[in-house]
């Protein structure tokens, strides 16, 4: 699959190449601000994962398939080794799966607020329901859509704004992402990545102190699957890149300097 992507290059020779993957309902745009800061020293590649952003739509939504997409993108860009894969939430599971399936490609990974485990069904269901209930054919403005999502129970303005990045108003209102496909494959999205053996790829797991996505009980599982894993807590909930971008960047750059020099 030919993923849509954006590349940011530093003004001088890059220390390393970073690949950043967004989470469910997201796109490369979500990480652009952080990518711009990191691109002062690193080459940064921002893909839209399948069924997200401007990448192709497909009825398959497994982590193995998404890992294959990333490997294909690396082949297209002639990236052979020494990469760091940074992934948030669903993108973090893609990072784990890709590092497991294609170990020569990645020198390190950074996993942002997600664990290698199955998450309970229903966590994302209210967001799917609210978006699917939105009468897009009658929406005249983003403000109309915002009010409609609020009436459907999406009470947090930041989450409504995040979801509405996927709404295209012209030439006719429609969702950029295939919500019905994603909803159908919610079990696969909530599943654990298929990690059959332990990997020695250096890995930084960042968890939000106000988030329940990485629990204390998950840390043992992380170390069982990633022999060189470090789990670090930082302020914030699940949306660490939006809430505390500078703190997140500091943790990432410190890790990159240790691994990539």
- In this structure, the answer to whether residues 165 and 111 fall within a common structural domain is no
Of 208, 242, 20, nearest in space to 114 by CA: 208
Residue 55 catalytic? no
DSSP 3-state helix, strand, coil percentages of the chain (rounded to 5)?
Answer: 45, 15, 40
CB atoms within 10 A of CB 34: 21
Q: End of a domain among 184, 203, 220?
A: 184
Looking at 88, 238, 251, 260, which residue is catalytic? Answer: 238
- In this structure, the answer to whether residues 106 and 149 fall within a common structural domain is no
- In this structure, the answer to whether residues 58 and 98 fall within a common structural domain is yes
Burial class (CB in 10 A: 0-12, 13-18, 19+), 106: buried
Looking at 54, 81, 180, 212, which residue is catalytic? Answer: 180
Question: Is the per-residue pLDDT at 177 higher than 90?
Answer: yes
Residue percentage of the chain with pLDDT more than 90: 95
CATH code of the domain covering residue 103: 3.40.50.1820
Confidence grade of residue 261 (pLDDT, cut at 50, 70, 90): confident
- In this structure, the answer to whether residues 19 and 89 fall within a common structural domain is yes
DSSP 105: G
**Per residue in 42-95, pLDDT tens?**
999 999 999 999 999 999 999 999 999 999 999 999 998 899 999 999 999 999
**Per residue in 228-254, pLDDT tens?**
999 999 999 999 999 999 999 999 999
**Per residue in 22-32, pLDDT tens?**
999 999 999 99
Confidence grade of residue 216 (pLDDT, cut at 50, 70, 90): very high
Residue 144 catalytic? no
Mean pLDDT of the region 156-173:
93
Question: Is the per-residue pLDDT at 149 higher than 80?
Answer: yes
- In this structure, the answer to whether residues 169 and 212 fall within a common structural domain is no
Looking at 89, 185, 241, 251, which residue is catalytic? Answer: 89
- In this structure, the answer to whether residues 29 and 147 fall within a common structural domain is no
Retrieve residue 135's tokens: 């009468």
- In this structure, the answer to whether residues 196 and 180 fall within a common structural domain is no
Q: End of a domain among 133, 155, 184?
A: 184
- In this structure, the answer to whether residues 163 and 211 fall within a common structural domain is no
Of 30, 196, 35, nearest in space to 103 by CA: 196
Q: End of a domain among 184, 202, 229?
A: 184
pLDDT value for 138: 87
For the entire predicted model, the pTM comes to 0.97
Residue 39 catalytic? no
According to DSSP H, which parts of the chain are helical? 32-38, 63-76, 90-101, 125-133, 142-151, 157-164, 179-184, 186-190, 216-225, 240-243, 245-260
Which range marks the domain in which residue 179 is found?
A: 125-184
Count of structural domains, the chain: 2
- In this structure, the answer to whether residues 38 and 142 fall within a common structural domain is no
- In this structure, the answer to whether residues 107 and 215 fall within a common structural domain is yes
- In this structure, the answer to whether residues 63 and 19 fall within a common structural domain is yes
Question: What is the overall mean pLDDT for the chain?
Answer: 96
């Amino acid at each position: 699959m030919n993923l849509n992507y954006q590349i940011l290059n530093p003004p001088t020779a890059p220390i390393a190449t970073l690949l950043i993957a967004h989470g469910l309902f997201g796109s490369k745009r979500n990480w652009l601000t952080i990518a711009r800061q990191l691109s002062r020293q690193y080459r940064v590649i921002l893909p839209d994962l399948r069924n997200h952003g401007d990448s192709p739509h497909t009825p398959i939504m497994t982590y193995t398939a998404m890992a294959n997409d990333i490997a294909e993108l690396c082949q297209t860009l002639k990236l052979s080794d020494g990469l760091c894969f940074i992934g948030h939430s669903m993108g973090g599971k893609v990072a784990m799966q890709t590092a497991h399936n294609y170990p020569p490609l990645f020198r390190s990974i950074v996993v942002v607020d997600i664990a290698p485990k199955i998450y309970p069904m229903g966590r994302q269901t209210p967001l799917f329901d609210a978006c699917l209930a939105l009468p897009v054919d009658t929406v005249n403005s983003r403000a109309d859509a915002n009010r409609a999502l609020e009436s459907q129970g999406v009470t947090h303005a930041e989450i409504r704004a995040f979801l509405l990045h996927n709404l295209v108003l012209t030439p006719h209102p429609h969702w950029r992402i295939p919500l019905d496909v994603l909803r159908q494959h919610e079990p696969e999205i909530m599943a654990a990545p298929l990690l059959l053996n332990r990997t020695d790829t250096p890995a930084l797991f960042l968890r939000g102190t106000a988030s329940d996505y990485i629990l204390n009980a998950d840390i043992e599982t992380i170390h069982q699957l990633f022999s060189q894993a470090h789990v670090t807590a930082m302020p914030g909930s699940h949306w660490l890149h939006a809430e505390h971008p500078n703190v997140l960047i500091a943790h990432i750059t410190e890790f990159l300097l240790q691994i990539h020099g």
